[in-house]
Structure 1
Amino acid sequence: MSAKTELSKREFVSLMLGLPAAAFLPHIAGAQSADTLNIAFMADLQSWDPTAVTFPVGQSIFKCVYDSPLHWSSDQKLQPRQIASRKWLDDANTRLEINLRDDIFFHDGSKLTTEDVKYSWLTRKKDKRLAIAGMLQDLMDVEIKSPTQAVLVYSKPSPSADFYLGFLGVYILPKAYHEKVGDEGFLAKPIGAGPYRLVDYQRGSRIVLEAFDKYWGGAPAIKSVTFQVLPESSTRVAAIESGRVDVAVQLPFREAVRLEKNPQLNVSMFPQAEIYMMQIPSYVDIYQNKDVRTALHMAIDKAALAKAFFNNLAKPLQVLATPGSSGDVPGYSFPFDRKKATETLAKAGYSKAKPLQMTLATTNGTFPNDYEIAQAIAQMWRQIGADVKIEEITIAKYMELNHAAKLPGIMLYSWANATGDPENYSGRILNPALRFSAWKEPANGERIAKLFAMKLGDERLAGYRALNKDASDNSWSIPLLQPVANMVTKKTVSIPTYSQGYVLPAEAKRTT
């Protein structure tokens, strides 16, 4: 076993010991009727305003309550949803005509129209605190032609604009209701136009939904859905193994493998439309040193991580794109070389005798094996001369710190990209104009702005591939793995899997 491609047995054993035991399992009703569904979920919502946050984990719940204008399929094809059709009206890609379905109702019985679109996407985006202000930053006007037809007018060429109509933060809220009750009233009693309406919410505990009988797609077969908020992954394991929930998502990989032997359960494991990466904050002084960044990147044995935590099903990444996607760079690789990493860190003035003092932030149980992967990487960095403090933070805290440019150090994060397009990988991860970015290099802003304005085609993709290669060469961010997601269900439950990690109860069925 080569030291350059695998962890030693001692390293592997040390990483796998001491993992958290199953936590106390809160009370969850055990008996299930044919039209109910209990889901062990990994996080609560940050906000009930779906236009306020870019929170990939919460999209399953947002899609239940609000639906979405367009919908990305598991194979990353953009499909009609609330928007029945769309087309560009000009060659410059500044005027996009959209046509809504004419049978969409909000949960209060009012009809969804283009007035609601204009309010949600244009009026409300004036509040720069809302995520939609960033997602639709170039949207200049919404010209209403009829209750179901409007033209989205962009301030500059925006050939990929429709990508975002099925992505994070871009939802349609009820204008009349929101104006009547205000922000606080809406957060206290949110309504949307999705297949389910909210009937009970206990923060940090559970979200109870009821099927909406006027949903344009027909009332779902599953009439009552409860998302049990169980951040501790071992608690989700215990919940599904005991039969007290019907569905559990994002379990530790080793536990999902073990549960494959349970005759009462179905286990699905599938590649995610996400990348595990290390976000490096340019505003933390030590990371301005390229030798420091290069050494940390070079010290990570990505193949060993894939083997130890995903049984080689996860794919090591060389750039900020999933293997085989349009932003991937065939033939390119960033080397793993522990000896050279030690020498490079020494050039920056750090060694085991004078270690680099650093913080590695990570979630715990939000993404498969997140905390354990952070532990493994910290150990790899200690071997080259770093003194690593692991800081466990929640997704909500990460969002707060990252958006305010206050991350204390490097952050292990799983970046979701329903579209698969490189604009939503490096185009946003490295764009200093956006709050999602941790590495805020001004030159990248100019470069990415040009890519954003380019027509879809080979030249644009070549530009993103060049950006991706430069990003890895300079270690502005460190790509790690394309992770493998999992969903475990009772044998009596059938629910589709999505590479985006969506759990959509409206598409679920109970079988006998």
Structure 2
Amino acid sequence: MIPFKYAVFAGLLSLGVAVAPASHAAGTLSIAASAGDPGSWDPIDTFLVTWGGVGSQIYDGLTMRTADMKLVPGLATSWEMLDKDSRIRFKLRQNVKFHNGEPFNAEAVKFTFDRLLGPEGAKGAQQSNYNAIKEVKVIDPFTVDFLLSRADPVLLTKLAGYGGMIVPPKYLTEKGDEFFNANPVGTGPFKFVEYKPKVSLTLARNADYWDGAPKLDGLVYRFITEPATQVAELQAGRLDIATTIPTSMLDVVAKDAKLKVASINGPVTLALRFNTKEGITKDVNVRKALVMAVDRSTIVSQILGGNAEQVASFQGKLSFGFDPALKSVPFDPAGAKKLLQAAGVPAGAAVQIDFRGPDSNFREVAQAIAGYLQAVGIKANLKGYETSVLLNDIIPNGKTGEMWQNQWGGWTFDYDNTAYAMYHSGQRWNPYDKDAALDKLLESQRDTYDQQARQKTLREIAQYVSDQALEMPLYSLNTIYGINKRVQNLTLPADGRFRFINESIQ
């Protein structure tokens, strides 16, 4: 049963009555969703960190990953590898129901993955993460076998999030995909209440959750992409957790008696990716010069206040495959000028840097990069886009300028999940490059469960990408939260995927 106060709150929302987040119903938590509105709550449609955070409340996967990165049973109670690692058998949790009362069972698992790997999944962003699965077979009502066409050493982790979340067959079949996008149903600790596109998503406590009902009555996710606005709402008490704070405002939040700041190592890494097909960045030596021209260490210390760590590849040190021996290209403006001159690039040549317009932190970084490039004779024009436009249109359709903001959550904490998506021919995030040698490296590390061999290959991939200067690696960003002190027992996930089970409000 939904507590009375929350029922009143939800009822007012359903009637269209404006309810300010400051007037929380008892135990209702308000969280900023900084990456913006994914536009769909279907697990197969998206890749945004916002979806991952919200999806972990609505859905469950066969596996779950705890905040300390341990893989534990989810809707599967156990699993084992069979037939020389070409089959995984999952024993499923019994007496679990979807939010609409539909039973969870083996048929639901098969339906989920048939859909993910079929024509509907092909329209979304998640199918390529799961294409090692050839078929899902129902053995009995609570046992399924995953038949694999090849090894996938990261599959069990992938099943803990995004595309692998289990969906209700009957509900989806009756309501259809479009309805499901805006009215999600899962087995998770919170149930869908209301979705206001680009404004908010409201969830209510699932009192029958199989892993114990959450203490909170409800959650309100607010789509606030502007970091300064998040801070203002946090200070005003209309937000309990801010997920993006301008580094220039961290002290302001920390000094507020009602608030606190948490800054922890996270998986989000940023780079400037190069257009290798058009413009002066077609030339690998020009790309190397642009990397040499930028003092990334100073950007980390001065602009980001040390809340990041310079990287040599598109991954942080928490990532499997990270190579501490791979060194960043040194800051060398004189060397950069020589390379540009040798490549025949005239003084004043222009490049365009595309970035997420609402990201005020990166805007400052981009302005600094433009200044460094100007010092070596390159004019950088900054072009901000709405995040959804940049991610859904400009990048995947190859409409970028010479450089663009590349930001990746790396939520599996495995370089494979990043590198394959970024660099393999034909992938969504690789609109320009087709490199058979790199493809072969990327594919080979997916064909073995030998972690030592995988790590060696992943490090070779990072070195190859560095040698080809496909991007300007910038930094691994700390996960930073601004928190109202009234929130109790808060567990902080490095990847932004909260699971609000034991949290409460004082």
TM-score normalised according to structure 1 size: 0.89
Q: Which range moves more in the overlay, 482-491 or 422-431? A: 422-431
What are the residue-to-residue correspondences of 1:134-153 with 2, within 5 Å? 134-153=128-147
1:346 equivalent among 326, 341, 351: 341
The one-character-per-residue Cα deviations of 1:437-483 (angstroms, maximum 9, x if unpaired) are: 34523321122111111223212211111111121122112221010
Query: What is the deviation of 1:159?
Result: 3.0
Distance (Å, rounded) in 2 between the aligned partners of 1:456 and 1:197: 40
SS at match of 1:389: strand
Deviates more, 1:33-42 or 1:292-301: 33-42
Amino acid at match of 2:142: T
1:389 aligns with 2:390: no
Letter in 1 for 2:28: T
Residue in 2 aligned with 1:23? Answer: none
Evaluate the alpha carbon distance shift between residue 41 and residue 357 of structure 1 in structure 2; reply closer, same or farther with a 3 A threshold: same
Q: Do 1:39 and 1:226's aligned partners in 2 also have CA atoms closer than 8 Å?
A: yes
**Is 2:274 the partner of 1:272?**
no
Q: 1:416 aligns with which of 400, 409, 419?
A: 409
Q: Which residue of 2 aligns with 1:503?
A: 498
Establish whether residue 118 from structure 1 lines up as the match of residue 110 from structure 2: yes
Is the counterpart of residue 225 in structure 1 residue 203 in structure 2?
no
2:14 maps to none
> Once the two structures are superposed, what CA deviation does each residue of 1:242-282 show, in whole Å capped at 9, x if it has no partner?
11222211111221232111111121111111211122233
Corresponding letter in the other structure for 2:332? D
1:60 aligns with 2:53: yes
Instruction: Kindly provide the CA deviation profile for residues 169-207 of structure 1, in whole angstroms up to 9, marking residues without a partner as x.
Output: 222111111111111222242212111111111111111
2:374 paired with 1:379: no
C-alpha contact 1:106 1:112 (8 A) present in aligned 2: yes
- For the pair 1:48 / 2:41, whether they are aligned, the reply is yes
Matches of 1:123 and 1:476, distance apart in 2? 34
1:288-311 CA-partner distances (Å, limit 9, x unpaired) = 210121111111211111112232
Secondary structure in 1 aligned to 2:331?
coil
Task: Provide closer, same or farther for how the CA distance between residues 73 and 440 of structure 1 changes in structure 2, counting only shifts above 3 A.
Answer: farther
1:181-330 → structure 2 map (5 Å cutoff) = 181-323=175-317, 325-330=319-324
Over residues 332-381 of structure 1, what are the superposed CA-to-partner deviations in whole Å (9 max), with x where a residue is unaligned? 312221111122122222243xx332221111345x71222122112222
Q: Which amino acid aligns with 2:419?
A: S
Instruction: Answer yes or no: is the 8 Å Cα contact 2:285–2:340 preserved in 1.
Output: yes
Deviating more after overlay: 302-311 vs 71-80:
71-80
Any idea what the Cα deviations from partners look like across 1:39-86, whole Å, max 9, x if unmatched?
233221231212111222321111111233322333433222222222
Give the Cα–Cα distance (whole angstroms) in 2 for the partners of residues 74 and 112 of structure 1: 25
- Residue 36 of structure 1, aligned match among 22, 28, 33: 28
Q: 1:130 aligns with which of 120, 124, 127?
A: 124
Contact 2:318/2:413 (<8 A) preserved: no
One-letter amino acid of the structure 1 residue matched with residue 257 of structure 2: P
Query: Hey, what does 1:7 align to over in structure 2?
Result: none
Relative to structure 1, is the Cα distance of residues 287 and 396 closer, same or farther in structure 2, using a 3 angstrom cutoff? same
Residue of structure 1 equivalent to 2:98: 106
Contact 1:358 1:388 in 2 (8 A): yes
Amino acid at match of 1:377: I
How big is the shift at 1:421? 1.4
SS at match of 2:123: coil
Distance 2:154 2:478 in 1: 27
Residues 76, 432 of structure 1: alpha-carbon distance in 2 compared, 3 angstrom cutoff = farther
Distance 2:182 2:157 in 1: 30
Q: Aligned partners of 1:307 and 1:197: how far apart in 2?
A: 42
Which residue of 352, 355, 361 corresponds with 1:362?
Answer: 355
Identity rate, percent = 23
Asked whether the 8 Å contact 1:439–1:476 carries over to 2, the reply is no
Paired with 1:350 and 1:27, the residues of 2 have a C-alpha distance of 58
- 1:432 corresponds in structure 2 to 425
Question: What is aligned with 1:455?
Answer: 449
User: TM-score if structure 2 supplies the norm length?
Assistant: 0.90
The alignment yields a C-alpha RMSD, in angstroms, of: 2.1
* Structure 1 residues 218 and 250: CA distance shift in structure 2, 3 A: same
After superposition, the Cα gap between the structure-2 partners of 1:213 and 1:311, relative to the gap in structure 1 and judged at 3 Å, is same
- 2 CA distance for matches of 1:193 and 1:163? 19
User: 1:6 — aligned with what?
Assistant: none
Contact 2:355–2:383 at 8 Å: present in 1 too? yes
Tell me by how many angstroms 1:285 deviates. 4.8
SS at match of 2:260: strand
- Number of equivalences: 482
Which residue number corresponds to residue 15 of structure 1?
A: none
Q: Aligned pair 1:180/2:174, yes or no?
A: yes
Distance between the aligned counterparts of 2:316 and 2:124, measured in 1? 29
SS in 1 for 2:446: helix
Gaps of 5+ in 1: 1-25
Distance 1:125 1:484 in 2: 34
Task: Name 2:477's counterpart in structure 1.
Answer: 483
CA shift for structure 1 position 240: 0.6
Deviation at 1:134, TM superposition (A): 1.3
Aligned residue for 1:392, secondary structure, equals: strand
Supply the AA of the counterpart residue of 1:48.
Answer: W
Q: Does the 8 A contact of 1:357 with 1:386 survive in 2? A: yes
Give the Cα separation in 2 of the matches to 1:453 and 1:209: 40
Label 1:57 to 1:34 Cα distance change in 2 as closer, same or farther (>3 A). same
Q: Go from structure 1 to structure 2 and tell me whether the alpha carbon gap of 1:164 and 1:276 turns closer, same or farther (over 3 Å shift).
A: same
CA contact (8 A) 1:277 1:414 kept: yes
Superposition deviation, residue 505 in structure 1: 3.2
Q: Which deviates more, 200-209 or 382-391?
A: 382-391
Q: Is the 8 A contact 1:430 1:438 kept in 2?
A: no
**Could you tell me whether the CA contact under 8 Å between 1:125 and 1:132 is conserved in 2?**
no
Contact 1:76 1:419 in 2 (8 A): no
Conservation of the 8 A alpha-carbon contact between 1:210 and 1:224: yes
1:162 corresponds in structure 2 to 156
